Amino acid sequence: MALIDTHLHLDAAEFDGDREAVIARAGAAGVTRLVLPAVLPANFDAVRDLARRLPGSVHAYGIHPLYVGRASETDIATLEARLADGDAAAVGEIGLDGYEAEPDPARQEWFFNEQLRLAKRFDLPVILHVRRAQDRVLKYLRRHGSHRGIAHAFNGSPQQARTFIDQGFKLGFGGAMTFSGSTRIRALAASLPLESIVLESDGPDIRPAWAQDVPNEPANVARFAQELAALRGITVEEVARATTANACEALGLAA
């Protein structure tokens, strides 16, 4: 069983003490391919270098909505130059966040708009941050004709989920799905078309129910596959085949 972790911040400081062990545990669990999105130009090199070391893994360049307060408008030119290199699988992590008060929505939207413009120019999928901003994100996707990528850590309504799917996006599920109290997320995971779902850790964040006091890591994706299989009443092998194929389709990866 081979699985893809479609969202992992492997360069995060939480992994500095045992990054090699984290990678080894992922491989032993069958999580053999990793997608490493950036959050600021300051970590573009780190995600690229990590992805190059890991066969089958890829990286994405982007400016995260919660970090646009640290970014300058000239960073869009930096991103454009990196995308022109042709080695990124996607533009991400980009999007909007309606949960935190800062950075302000207008600044988030300016950076999101500019990054969607670049994704269209370079014909790249996008890895989306959509926390409490699903409808606003959809507005910009329609405006730019964006029809490929992943809405990471999806936590919207069934109607919003269907709209993202109709727009051409896959939806990411992970640690939040493991809590019995996460009824909406678990219902979505159980009922959405299987061909619309991908698995992710979002490591070191969105820790699963069984490991709240340690950083989330890619090996947990194997247990997320088991959780998804149980919710849907299918085999974990079916989940692995489908979610891997979905990730490859969403990000243009080799099967």
pLDDT per position as a tens digit, 165-215: 999 999 999 999 999 999 999 999 999 999 999 999 999 999 999 999 999
- Is the pLDDT at 77 greater than 90, yes or no? yes
Rounded Cα gap, residues 210 and 20, in angstroms: 22
pLDDT tens track for 26-68: 999 999 999 999 999 999 999 999 999 999 999 999 999 999 9
* Per-residue model confidence (pLDDT) at position 131: 97
Does 255 or 3 have the greater pLDDT score? 3
Structure pTM? 0.98
Mean pLDDT across 6-15: 98
Tokens of 35: 């997608």
Q: What is the pLDDT of residue 165?
A: 98
100 pLDDT higher than 90: no
At residue 241 the predicted structure's pLDDT band, cuts being 50, 70 and 90, is very high
C-alpha neighbours within 13 Å on the C-beta side of residue 140: 23
Q: How far apart are the C-alpha atoms of 58 and 6, rounded to whole Å?
A: 9
Cα 89 to Cα 119: distance, rounded to the nearest angstrom: 11
The answer, yes or no, to whether residue 255 has pLDDT greater than 90, is: no
Provide the pLDDT for residue 45. Answer: 98
Average of per-residue pLDDT values in the chain: 97
The predicted pLDDT at position 111 comes to 98
Please provide the size of the chain in residues. 255
Which pLDDT band, with edges at 50, 70 and 90, does 87 fall under? very high
According to the model, what pLDDT value does residue 198 have? 99
Structure confidence at residue 124 (pLDDT):
98
Q: At what angle do helices 158-167 and 134-144 cross, to 10 degrees?
A: 20
Predicted pLDDT of residue 116: 98
Give me the DSSP letters along the chain: --EEES-B-TTSGGGTTTHHHHHHHHHHTTEEEEEEE-SSGGGHHHHHHHHHHSTT-EEEE---GGGTTT--TTHHHHHHHHHHTT--SEEEEEE--SSSS-S-HHHHHHHHHHHHHHHHHTT--EEEE-TT-HHHHHHHHHHHT---EEEET----HHHHHHHHHHTEEEEE-GGGG-TT-HHHHHHHHHS-GGGEEE---BTSS--TT-TTS---TTHHHHHHHHHHHHHTS-HHHHHHHHHHHHHHHHT---
Please tell me the predicted confidence (pLDDT) of residue 125. Answer: 98
- Give me the mean pLDDT over the 98-116 stretch: 95
Query: What is the pLDDT, as a whole number, of residue 109?
Result: 98
